[in-house]
Amino acid sequence: MARRTQRTNPPEDVTDHRFLQFPQTLNDATRARYVNNLSLLLTKEIDIGPSFDWELATQNGLAVLIQDFLQYTHSDASRVPLFVCQEWARLFRIQAPVYWEFLLVFYATVSYEPRKAPDDRTTFSFRLGGVSQECCVIELATRVGIYTTDETRSVHFPVFLADCLTDRPNDYNENTFWAEITGGVYTPYTARGRMI
């Protein structure tokens, strides 16, 4: 695995970047929340995910073998192939540079509603470039490059997606998990990521 260079310290003038300016038109409470989230994020190190070295894998004769593992065929009950998805292969091929400022704004303003359907346009809401955005899980995955638009329009895609989504493990306890990562008691309506 090849790693991209990590930025360990933000530049001195990072808060002057236009993507880190929240419009004055926001209501005071929302703007204060975004600014607070951003100020917390500026103190943290955001890890840039590793990328896979396909050139090295090809040189060692492993690319084709690996590719086979990164492809999933969704079949019906009688094992007739309905849908072949390359999402893992695409995920491993994403090499685009990640802009730290974009991540900061996305993380500072994003909200996610996990109980909503994967095609509900209000599942994710966030701000980028001073503009409010909303999208569904499928659209976000398409924009990132994990799925293609043609795949998401397939009649078999909703069934494939439903089969991929899983419930929490039976032994999962949110109170225990929250206590482990925050040292506090889990209260759904007041729990915030900044408590971690």
pLDDT for the residue numbered 4:
41
Number of H helices, E strands in the chain: 9, 5
Contacts of 81 (CB under 8 A, 6+ apart): 73, 74, 75
Give yes or no for residue 5 having a pLDDT over 50. no
pLDDT for the residue numbered 8:
45
How many Cβ atoms sit within 10 Å of the Cβ of residue 20?
A: 19
pLDDT for the residue numbered 50:
62
More confident call, 35 vs 191:
35
Range of lowest pLDDT (58-62, 127-131, 138-142): 127-131
- pTM (global) more than 0.75: no
Mean pLDDT for all residues in the chain: 75
Say if strands 72-75 and 124-128 run parallel, antiparallel, or are unpaired.
unpaired
pLDDT for the residue numbered 105:
77
pLDDT tens by residue, 169-179: 677 677 887 78
pLDDT for the residue numbered 98:
62
Residue 1, beta-bridge partner list: none
pLDDT for the residue numbered 1:
39
**Mean pLDDT of the 189-194 span:** 65
CA dist., res. 28 & res. 26, Å (int):
6
More confident call, 143 vs 94:
143
The first and second tokens of residue 135, run together, are: 């999208």
Question: Is 111 in contact with 125 (CB distance < 8 Å)?
Answer: yes
- DSSP class of residue 133? E
pLDDT tens by residue, 16-29: 666 677 777 788 88
CA dist., res. 118 & res. 156, Å (int):
14
More confident call, 18 vs 74:
74
CA dist., res. 35 & res. 24, Å (int):
12
Residue of 98, 89, 87, 11 whose CA lies nearest to 50: 98
More confident call, 26 vs 13:
26
For the CA atoms of 32, 38, 40, 44, the dihedral, rounded to the nearest 10 degrees, stands at 180
Compute the chain's Rg from CA coordinates. 20
